[in-house]
Structures are given as C-alpha cells and as structure tokens.
Structure 1
Amino acid sequence: MSENSGTPLPAISGPAERALAAIGVTTLEQASEHSEKELLALHGFGPKGIKILRESFATHGLAFRED
C-alpha cells in the first residue's frame, strides 16, 4: 500500500490522513504541491496538521506551495 517514490507522511490524525488520501496525497512531496489554504479547506484537516507538516517539511527541505 505504501509508495517507495517519496517520503512518508509524518504521524498525523486519522481524519487528516484520510483527508490527504482523498486527494491522492500519500507522501511529503505530494503534500508540498498544495498550499496551506487548500489543505485547511479539506474536511478533517486543521491547523495541527499544518503544524505537523510544516515541521516535517523543514526537516526535508520542503515547503507548502504559495497561493
């Protein structure tokens, strides 16, 4: 089920993980293709998810897409 073509997502809440999966996001690299605003608009994804992704992005040299 996991893809080897990217960095796995960090541990986030179940609803946030399902929200990302619903738009096809399963890796950090895929998450970085979206803006904070886009992700916050997803049902089940909130500010805590943004914080967790932001911290993980910093570790891997990634960032959210700019609006």
Structure 2
Amino acid sequence: MINLVIMAKCLSSICAVNHVTKNNFLYGIIAVPARRALEREKIDSLEKLSDYSEQEIMKLHGFGRNTMQKLKNHMEKHHVSFKS
C-alpha cells in the first residue's frame, strides 16, 4: 500500500512536468487543442499566423467557429489578418 502511494506521488510529478507549456502564444485566447495544433504547425506568432488563410487554419484539429471567432477578434486588436 505504501509503495502505491509513493508511486502515485512520483507519477503525478512526472505528469505535471510533461504538461507544462513551453509557449504562451494565444494562452487565454483559444483552447489548448487549438494552441497545440498551431504549435505542431510551428505557428508561434501572429506574423506566422498571417501567412495562412482562414480555411487552412480551420482544417486544424481544435478549430471551429467559436475558436476562429476568438482568434479573429484577437488578430483584429493587433492589426493582423489572415492571408486572402
């Protein structure tokens, strides 16, 4: 029983380390699945995001109408837009 408690504590600390995000790009703006999809595509700035069309980004996992609207609002505030 004690071994299980010790093992559980070790595993929880490993999980916490593995789930620490390295990049705060769009943190608090869009949900984690959409941010991970952008990270997989190496999109880590609004400038890089502006090289893509809205349709290209909508094809990524985690992006739907709600997420896209939040992203477009954020981009508009920073005077950035998707490519045409």
Kindly name which structure, 1 or 2, has the bigger radius of gyration based on alpha carbons: 2
Aligning the two structures, in what range does the TM-score lie when normalised by the shorter sequence? 0.7 to 0.9
RMSD of aligned Cα (Å): 1.8
Q: What's the counterpart of residue 50 of structure 2?
A: 32
How many Å apart are 1:9 and its aligned residue?
Answer: 2.5
For 1:9-59, what per-residue CA distance to the aligned partner results, in whole angstroms no more than 9, with x for missing partners? 252101100111110011122111111100111122222221111111111
Q: Which structure has more helix as a fraction of its residues?
A: 2
Gapped regions of structure 2 (runs ≥ 5): 1-21
Q: Greater relative contact order (Cα 8 A, min sep 6): structure 1 or 2?
A: 1
Q: What's the counterpart of residue 79 of structure 2?
A: 61
Q: What's the counterpart of residue 50 of structure 1?
A: 68
Using the size of structure 2 for normalisation, the TM-score is 0.63
Gapped regions of structure 1 (runs ≥ 5): none
User: Size of the alignment, in residue pairs?
Assistant: 62
Compared with structure 1, are the counterparts of its residues 49 and 17 closer, same or farther at alpha carbon in structure 2 (3 Å cutoff)? same
**Distance in 2 separating the partners of 1:33 and 1:49:** 18
**Distance in 1 separating the partners of 2:80 and 2:31:** 21
Are 2:59 and 1:41 equivalent residues in the alignment?
A: yes
**Distance in 2 separating the partners of 1:30 and 1:9:** 13
Please say if residues 9 and 28 of structure 1, whose CA atoms lie closer than 8 Å, have aligned partners that are also in contact: no
Identity level (%): 34
